[in-house]
Amino acid sequence: MIHIQPQSVQSLYVEPRFNGQKLSNATGFIAMSRRGRILITNRHVVTGRHQQTGECLSKQAAEPNQLAIFHNKKGAIGQWVEGIEPLYDGHSNKLWHEHPTLGQKADFVAITLTNTEGADFVEYSLGVNDPKIMIQVTDKVSVVGFPFGIRTNGGFAIWATGSIASEPEIDHDELPIFLIDCRSREGQSGSPVVAHRSGSETVWLENGSMIANGMPATRFLGIYSGRVNKESDLGIVWKVTALKELVESIR
């Protein structure tokens, strides 16, 4: 029997599109809100503009008005079904939700799902009930997404591994982010960032206890939103605490 890590199907390949035309590749994942299932991805993915400069990201100089989401197919692990979500209503009002206080400063958004026929869901609980694996500077983390749009067997995510580069309990740049050192690239925007331990080692928890049962353990840490600049392998991770604030604001 083939064993697949749940996170490999929790990350979903997404395509920002303009009137059906593909503009780029990205990643997203599902969570639950009071209004139902939502997709979480980066704000720059849905705006089509650089988060800091506002520069148009598309080579076609187009901004997306749709997001194609490749959901897991119901009852068929390893198969996917495409769902199209509009990004604006008929009056050009945006349909995504932004952080309740950070607003446009936060490079992550949530989209309430409306087109999910034939889809199955493996949601992230945003850290609830995850083992509180101790995380410190230099500890290993993984960005689970789709670099350059690369997918295994049509939709399984790629794991890029790096290390924590800034103190994770301290806000970097006065925002709820920390930095990682990881050779991540285009298409991984919106990827979940996790601390994953395979079970081949002793895993220490924040309370000083340990897991040594040989079973894998994974802790969700946040969402990846790109490198600090094109010349660096330092990447930005928005913390799970901020994601929870967004999800809890959706009513």
Tell me which of 29-33, 109-113, 128-132, 170-174 is least confident. Answer: 128-132
In a domain, 25, yes or no: yes
At 71, which CATH number? 2.40.10
173 has a pLDDT exceeding 90: yes
Q: Helix H segments across the chain? A: 7-10, 43-47, 240-249
- Measured between alpha carbons, how far is 111 from 91 in angstroms, rounded to an integer? 17
Please indicate, yes or no, whether residues 145 and 93 belong to a single structural domain of this protein: no
Provide the domain limits for residue 230: 140-240
Please indicate, yes or no, whether residues 169 and 229 belong to a single structural domain of this protein: yes
Other C-beta atoms closer than 10 Å to the C-beta of 133 total 19
Please indicate, yes or no, whether residues 175 and 98 belong to a single structural domain of this protein: no
What per-residue confidence (pLDDT) applies to 202?
80
pTM: 0.95
In a domain, 130, yes or no: no
What residues contact residue 238 under an 8 Å CB cut-off, 6+ apart?
Answer: 106, 107, 108, 175, 176, 177, 222, 223, 225
Please indicate, yes or no, whether residues 74 and 164 belong to a single structural domain of this protein: no
pLDDT band at 1 (very low <50, low <70, confident <90, very high): low
Average pLDDT estimate for 65-75:
97
Structure confidence by residue, pLDDT tens digits, 179-209: 999 988 889 999 999 999 987 778 878 888 8
Structure confidence by residue, pLDDT tens digits, 201-231: 788 788 888 887 777 889 999 999 999 998 8
Number of domains in the chain: 2
What residues contact residue 176 under an 8 Å CB cut-off, 6+ apart?
Answer: 102, 238, 239, 241, 242
